[in-house]
Structure 1
Amino acid sequence: MDNHSQSPHILMIAYPLQGHVIPFVHLATKLASKGFTITFVNTESIHHQITKSQLSSSSSSGVLLGPNNKVHDIFAEARKSGLDIRYATVSDGFPLTFDRSLHHDQFMEGILHVLSAHVDVLVGKLVSTNQPVTCLISDTFYVWSSMIANKYNLVNVSFWTEPALVFTLYYHMDLLRTNGHFASPHDDNREDAIDYIPGVARIDPKDMASYLQAADTTTVVHRIIYKAFEDVKRADFVICNTVQELEPKTISALQQKQPVYAVGPVLPAAGFTKSLVGTSLWPESDCTRWLNSKPHASVLYISFGSYAHCTKDEIVEIGHGVLLSGVSFIWVLRPDIVSSDQTDPLLPLGFEDEVKDRGMIVPWCSQIAVISHPALAGFLTHCGWNSILESVWCGIPLLCFPLLTDQFTNRKLVVDDWRIGLNLCDKKPITRHEVARNITRLISGESADELRKNVKAVKGLLENALSVAPGGSSHNNLNQFIDDMIMKANIKKKKK
């Protein structure tokens, strides 16, 4: 029990997007491995997608969750190793058949206004059990965390799944607005560098999250961000999926505001292997046999994550660029990468015939299995934070094509600050010749050697942070967070 005999029962609820579910699952297993009881909550929609994608390979029995509903328990295998992780689902307010990708804004309105009522009911039941919930760990983007925590006298923990730099820019939206870099009343935001955010070196507006660059700041996502970053300031603790040594000044400045713990990279408790817990929303194609047939460090992996969209023209230009580069590749083309109602072919006419044995195109795959394979040489990525951490852990340099939200800031860290990647294009629209040139730079030549050297150095920082002996920063920070959380839970219990 790691000396935590009075460990609280922790309720964890991830934001209903795969990029958020993954680190939440890994954190849950990590905390459970330290002896905590965890109740992990997914929305019914996310649960249904994960279950559907696993049906062919999973035969785990269901657990009763809700009136007469039996559902596959994604933590069944993890529990066999002794982890006390319970599982529950809540409605997000929409039927399972509702297309959340196609009707994004309507879905987000539901997350903003409806989901909290379903969570409230669940928490009310869990605090009345023999082992009542005493701590809530929720995604920072939820707007209701302090309300639920206060109502049920829970320790309120906010889990930020992106880098601290993105967090602190959102945290200081008032400064950005006051200085005219965000939400200018005349849509004429300043374009000069920002140099007044605590703990942040000069940063160009183009390197802020897309929502901080937007002309229209009245969207549902903006309303979520406004409310979420008012609410997070009421949290007892903030834990962040980053590493102290990667963002020292930013984290130190945040720690002047409230308790913040850098505990990343949050990886599977057993190490960087395929997790025992399913998190994929789509069936995964097995690329291993194809990769085994390729030379060491020769393959480019292309994936734009589980959420962001790009245009058909961009797909076509990237396709032509890949052809011109002559490189072997695996390309994940998610069915809804342009739109879930897109029916026309995305790739250039004859593309698949032309690439033949040197290319593998799949709708989805196990990213961990691909980027950890010795044949991998580089990753053309949207710059999702999970993808960046996983790539660094595997020593894979990055070719950056940010599409949405935090990805623009992540690109800055990768290319400008840590120098472990290149930009796919310096400005849009992208062209096939620029794509081909930068793929070549990523895979071979002096720039490739420099990138690999830099990735190795950053990988060392990640490994050191998680080191148990002597204790690395993330290892120590997680233990400190646990001690502080238990102390806070005991104080709340006495005040009841």
Structure 2
Amino acid sequence: MEQLRNGKRLIFFPLPFQGHINPMLELANILHSKGFSITIIHTSFNSLNPSSHPHFTFHSIHEGFSKSGTLKDTLLVISSLNANCHEPFRGCLTRLLSDVSKEPVACLITDSVYDFTKSVAESLKLPRILLRAWSASSFAIYATFPLLREKGYLPKQDSRLEEEVTELSPFKVKDLPLINSDGPERYFKIIADLEDQTKASCGLILNTFEDLDEHALATIRQNYSIPVFSLGPFHKCYPNSSSTSSSLLAQDQSCISWLNRQAPKSVIYVSFGSVAAINEAQFLEIAWGLANSKQPFLWVVRPGLVPGSDWLEALPSGFHETLNGKGHIVKWASQKEVLSHQAIGVFWTHNGWNSTLESICEGIPMICMPCSADQMMNARYVSDVWKVGLQLEDGVERGNIEKTIRKLLVEKEGEEIKDRVVKLMQKANFCLKPGGSSYQSLDALIKHILSFN
């Protein structure tokens, strides 16, 4: 049966990084299921695959990058995207708005990192709603950057890393979000621009839920005079999310058949996302920590995870033989499918927001090893606020890894953590049901979009 349409089209513009693409397309799926037609404008850098989402219309713009994945400085990529995409995006959007054969466009939903979309949308008299791909808690902390700089917490100084930020307890200076780059001032400018972009928008969408981010959401609503919609977890809102993929990397399905042979809640799933990098010494400590734990593990080793290494050549000779079949290593996995598998007992993560939220939604406790940006804040929330995981506070050392795994899988502390994360999972499920906070927020978002003339 053909889905009922409401006669309105939405235009989405995702930032071309995996952690931003996923929630944007999940949100597009949610709103498509509510009757909207969906058009996606995307860059040729990290280009999307339209065949994975045949129910959407895709339009590609060229931003001038030579090859996907070759640019290592994230801030430079963001700055270049904002500089290079302005005119191609304006041209594409203008053509879409003038196409009378399609449904009228209700609004633009864009990643908040694109600063130029404000002037383009205003010139075309098109309402613009922002999607923030971070937690509400990290968003609230980004808003305090002027204060943190005034107090001398930022830029970070090595001598103060363990110092508590009294204005943001329980955060330490080392938890404050910075991206590895040669230009910290560029980072501070991007954060300041984000503030301005948010205040000038017609609304803000966050992939979170009230019971998880209640205090931060209250702060955001107090400080911004725009509608704020918390309707996550996105991937649980859309019933057919498992049938579509927005992965930029090929997924190795062998991990599912391997997991099928493991005992329930026994496997350590290890994945550090699509961008994070670790050095060879850390890589070896992780390998031996996992092997020495004697627990089965599924380890995603993305090509490029260790700079200068193609894949597994840094592993010592004979390492695989020492595992006796207890370890399975792949280049990339279908993470939501893995986390929902009954064999997974612990998730060792870099604490990107998507990964953190997906782990909570499956009731899986976490080992936290954040690398940059909002990951440090997410990890501190996981370990010290929600108390649903443990940080590797003493560094990536094989003995410390073994001890942390043992705490989560064997000891009483792990049982208490499991209880807490299961309770959060139940709250995540409830918020999506009729009458739940995310259910109501989605309804409010739809009414807000349909109110635009």
TM-score by length of 2: 0.91
Give the residue type in structure 2 aligned to 1:309: A
1:483 to 406, 429, 447: 447
Q: Deviation digits for residues 162-196 of structure 1, max 9, x if unmatched?
A: 11111112223222223332248x99989754455
Give the residue type in structure 2 aligned to 1:277: T
How far is 1:224 from its partner? Answer: 2.9
Aligned counterpart, 1:252: 218
Q: Deviation digits for residues 53-76 of structure 1, max 9, x if unmatched?
A: xxxxxxxxxxxxxxxxxxx53311
Q: Cα 1:179–1:30, aligned 2, differ >3 Å: closer, same or farther?
A: same
Does residue 90 (structure 1) correspond to residue 61 (structure 2)? The answer is yes
Aligned counterpart, 1:446: 412
Q: Distance in 1 between matches of 2:249 and 2:314?
A: 19
1:73 to 51, 62, 70: 51
Does residue 412 (structure 1) correspond to residue 380 (structure 2)? The answer is yes
How far is 1:483 from its partner? Answer: 1.2
Q: Deviation digits for residues 373-428 of structure 1, max 9, x if unmatched?
A: 111111111111111111111111111111111110001111111111111x2133
How far is 1:43 from its partner? Answer: 1.8
Secondary structure of the structure 1 residue equivalent to 2:210: coil
CA contact (8 A) 1:301 1:380 kept: yes
Q: Cα 1:486–1:164, aligned 2, differ >3 Å: closer, same or farther?
A: same
Q: What 5-or-longer segments of structure 2 have no aligned partner? A: none
Secondary structure of the structure 2 residue equivalent to 1:275: helix
Q: Deviation digits for residues 118-146 of structure 1, max 9, x if unmatched?
A: 21111111110113423111111111121
The correspondence of residues 28-67 of structure 1 with structure 2, limited to 5 A, is: 28-47=28-47, 51=49
Q: Deviation digits for residues 225-283 of structure 1, max 9, x if unmatched?
A: 33233222211101111111212121112112222111111115543x65333211111
Q: Distance in 1 between matches of 2:210 and 2:261?
A: 39
Aligned counterpart, 2:17: 17
Does residue 355 (structure 1) correspond to residue 323 (structure 2)? The answer is yes
- Give percent identity, aligned residues only: 28
Give the residue type in structure 2 aligned to 1:282: L
Secondary structure of the structure 1 residue equivalent to 2:52: coil
Does residue 373 (structure 1) correspond to residue 337 (structure 2)? The answer is no
Q: Cα 1:398–1:191, aligned 2, differ >3 Å: closer, same or farther?
A: closer
Q: Deviation digits for residues 93-141 of structure 1, max 9, x if unmatched?
A: 213x354344655533421311222211111111101134231111111
Q: Cα 1:154–1:274, aligned 2, differ >3 Å: closer, same or farther?
A: closer
Q: Cα 1:299–1:183, aligned 2, differ >3 Å: closer, same or farther?
A: closer
1:171 to 143, 146, 161: 143
Aligned alpha-carbon RMSD (Å): 2.7
Aligned counterpart, 1:62: none
CA contact (8 A) 2:161 2:172 kept: no
Secondary structure of the structure 2 residue equivalent to 1:267: helix
Q: Cα 1:448–1:17, aligned 2, differ >3 Å: closer, same or farther?
A: same
Does residue 432 (structure 1) correspond to residue 398 (structure 2)? The answer is yes
CA contact (8 A) 1:137 1:159 kept: yes
Aligned counterpart, 1:232: 198
Q: Cα 1:215–1:251, aligned 2, differ >3 Å: closer, same or farther?
A: farther
Q: Distance in 1 between matches of 2:338 and 2:312?
A: 28
Aligned counterpart, 1:152: 124
CA contact (8 A) 1:288 1:370 kept: yes
Secondary structure of the structure 1 residue equivalent to 2:393: coil
Moved more, 370-379 or 173-182: 173-182
1:241 to 179, 196, 207: 207
Q: Distance in 2 between matches of 1:202 and 1:298?
A: 31
CA contact (8 A) 2:52 2:245 kept: yes
- What number of residue pairs does the alignment pair up? 447
Q: What 5-or-longer segments of structure 1 have no aligned partner? A: 52-71, 80-84, 491-496
CA contact (8 A) 1:100 1:107 kept: no
CA contact (8 A) 1:13 1:139 kept: yes
Q: Cα 1:214–1:205, aligned 2, differ >3 Å: closer, same or farther?
A: farther
How far is 1:42 from its partner? Answer: 2.4
Q: Cα 1:155–1:8, aligned 2, differ >3 Å: closer, same or farther?
A: farther
Q: Cα 1:183–1:320, aligned 2, differ >3 Å: closer, same or farther?
A: closer
CA contact (8 A) 1:268 1:275 kept: no
1:116 to 86, 89, 108: 86
